[in-house]
C-alpha cells in the first residue's frame, strides 16, 4: 500500500496517523479534575485517626490510653508524621510492630516511632 504525502501534513508520521490510525492518542493538557477529585485520598479526621490507631494498638496486643502521657505523645508523633495519610499510617505501624518485636518492647514510645519513621522513605516534611 502506498501512502500519498500531501503538503497539508507536516510530517510523515502525522500523515500516516491521520489516515490509518483508528484511535487518536492525545495528551491531556492538564490532569482530569473530575478523576483527580474522585481519586484523591482525604486525610483522616481526628476521630478516624483515633479509631485507626486504637485498632493498630490492639492488633499489636496493646491498649491505647489517651490519658497516659506516653500514649498521647505517641499519638501526636504518629499524627505529625503521617498527617492523616492512611497508607503511610499502615506502613509506619508495620515498622513499629517490627521494632517492638526485635527489641522485645511492650510500649510504643516516641523513640520507637522515630526509629520506625527513619526506616521509611517519606516525602519532604
**What's the rounded mean pLDDT across residues 68-89?**
91
Round the average pLDDT of the chain to a whole number and report it.
79
Residues whose CB is less than 8 angstroms from the CB of residue 33 and which lie 6 or more positions away in sequence, other chains included: none
CA-CA-CA-CA torsion sign (14, 19, 20, 21): positive
> What span, in angstroms and rounded, lies between the C-alpha atoms of 120 and 51?
23
Q: What does the pLDDT read at residue 36?
A: 60
CB 19 within 8 A of CB 10: no
> What span, in angstroms and rounded, lies between the C-alpha atoms of 90 and 60?
12
Q: Helix 69-82 to helix 110-118 angle, to the nearest 10 degrees?
A: 20
Q: How confident is the model at residue 43 (pLDDT cuts 50, 70, 90)?
A: confident
Full set of structural domains in the chain with CATH: 46-118 (1.10.8)
Q: What percent of the residues of the chain are helix, what percent strand, and what percent coil, each to the nearest 5?
A: 60, 0, 40
Amino acid at each position: 500500500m502506498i501512502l500519498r504525502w500531501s503538503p497539508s501534513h507536516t510530517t510523515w508520521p502525522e500523515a500516516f496517523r491521520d489516515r490509518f490510525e483508528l484511535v487518536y492518542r492525545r495528551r491531556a493538557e492538564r490532569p482530569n479534575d473530575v478523576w483527580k477529585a474522585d481519586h484523591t485520598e482525604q486525610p483522616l479526621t481526628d476521630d478516624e485517626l483515633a479509631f485507626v490507631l486504637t485498632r493498630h494498638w490492639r492488633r499489636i496486643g496493646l491498649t491505647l490510653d489517651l490519658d497516659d502521657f506516653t500514649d498521647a505523645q505517641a499519638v501526636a508523633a504518629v499524627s505529625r508524621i503521617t498527617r492523616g495519610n492512611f497508607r503511610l499510617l499502615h506502613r509506619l505501624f508495620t515498622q513499629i510492630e517490627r521494632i517492638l518485636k526485635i527489641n522485645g518492647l511492650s510500649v510504643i514510645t516516641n523513640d520507637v516511632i522515630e526509629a520506625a519513621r527513619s526506616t521509611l522513605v517519606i516525602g519532604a516534611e
